[in-house]
């Protein structure tokens, strides 16, 4: 078969094939040989384009979470801290619609040795949360004594952690986000200004209910 030279198209064909295989048979059935075959390329081509199997999965994941990222960027609430909790709802929504798919891909990426993968996940998630916390502080919703990077880092780490438990199969995505919400609320109540503490406390009430059902 001659080279295709359809430029970017080859990238798409590979990612699309990976997507289809995973949705059809699960991430464990995604082998590089099958991927190459179904994408109609040589075994080596995905390596040329994405560097490794994990590289393909990162590209796939980045594409798949685009709607989530868009959702997260659309800051809508009248309180900035509400946007923090809205992030968790968006995640629930988007990942929940295809839970097995996302869980599989997420797990593969998260447990890979890929130099980018975990750093990107860690850094990106943490950064989004830190930015939100800083924004909340700028909007006088969080008291100035708190270090935004420190608090945001804690929240981000907790989110990532719960995502890990979800990816590992210990929690549903709903359970993971509810856990996160409860811990975030607990950590935030001590940091917010009096006029928003009511809004934050709203998210707090369900800690006990949450855990009863979601932990195995």
Partner DNA sequence: TGGCGTAGTGCAACATGTTATACTGAAGGG
Partner DNA sequence: CCCTTCAGTATAACATGTTGCACTACGCCA
User: Which residues are near its own copies by CB under 8 A?
Assistant: 110-111, 118-119, 122-123, 126, 146-147, 149-151, 153-154, 157-158, 160-162, 164-165, 168-170, 179, 182-183, 186-187, 190, 207-208, 210-212, 215-216
* Residue 145 makes contact with DNA by CB under 7 A: no
> Judged by CB, which is closer to its own copies: 97, or 150?
150
* Contact by Cβ (8 Å): 60, 19: yes
Residue 48 interacts with which of its own copies, DNA, none, CB < 5 to 8 Å by class: DNA
Q: Give the whole-angstrom CA distance, residue 216 versus residue 107.
A: 19
> Judged by CB, which is closer to DNA: 2, or 198?
2
Residues recorded for the chain: 216
Q: Which of 58, 59, 14, 62 is nearest to 6 (CA)?
A: 14
Helix (H, G, I), strand (E, B) or coil at 79: coil
**Binding piece for DNA, criterion CB under 7 A, among 2-10, 137-145, 152-160, 177-185:** 2-10
> Judged by CB, which is closer to its own copies: 67, or 169?
169
Residue 97 interacts with which of its own copies, DNA, none, CB < 5 to 8 Å by class: none
Helix (H, G, I), strand (E, B) or coil at 196: helix
Shortest Å distance, C-beta 98 to DNA: 21
* Residue 21 makes contact with DNA by CB under 7 A: no
Q: Give the whole-angstrom CA distance, residue 210 versus residue 136.
A: 26
- Residue 192's beta-bridge partner residues? 142
Report CA-CA distances (Å) from 54 to 30, 59, 65, 130: 11, 9, 16, 27
Which of 54, 126, 137, 158 lies at the binding interface for DNA (CB under 7 A)?
Answer: 54
Q: Give the whole-angstrom CA distance, residue 18 versus residue 21.
A: 5
**Residues of the shown chain interacting with DNA in the complex, contacts defined by CB under 7 A:** 1-5, 7, 10, 30-33, 40-45, 47-49, 52-54
């Amino acid at each position: 078969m001659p080279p295709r030279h359809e430029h970017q198209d080859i990238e798409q064909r590979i990612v699309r094939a990976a997507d289809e295989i995973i949705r059809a048979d699960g991430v464990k059935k995604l082998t590089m040989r099958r991927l190459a075959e179904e994408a109609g390329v040589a075994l080596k081509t995905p390596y040329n384009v994405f560097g490794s199997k994990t590289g393909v999965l990162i590209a796939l994941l980045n594409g798949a979470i685009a709607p989530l990222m868009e959702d997260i960027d659309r800051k809508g609430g009248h309180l900035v801290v509400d946007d923090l909790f809205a992030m968790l709802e968006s995640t629930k929504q988007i990942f929940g619609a295809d839970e097995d798919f996302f869980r599989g891909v997420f797990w593969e990426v998260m447990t890979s040795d890929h130099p980018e993968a975990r750093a990107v996940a860690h850094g990106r998630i943490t950064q989004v949360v830190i930015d939100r916390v800083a924004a909340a502080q700028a909007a006088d919703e969080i008291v100035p004594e708190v270090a935004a990077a420190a608090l945001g880092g804690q929240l981000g780490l907790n989110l990532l952690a719960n995502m890990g438990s979800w990816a590992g199969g210990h929690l549903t995505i709903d359970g993971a986000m509810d856990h996160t919400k409860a811990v975030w609320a607990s950590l935030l109540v001590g940091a917010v200004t009096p006029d928003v503490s009511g809004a934050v406390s709203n998210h707090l009430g369900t800690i006990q209910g949450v855990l009863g059902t979601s932990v195995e």
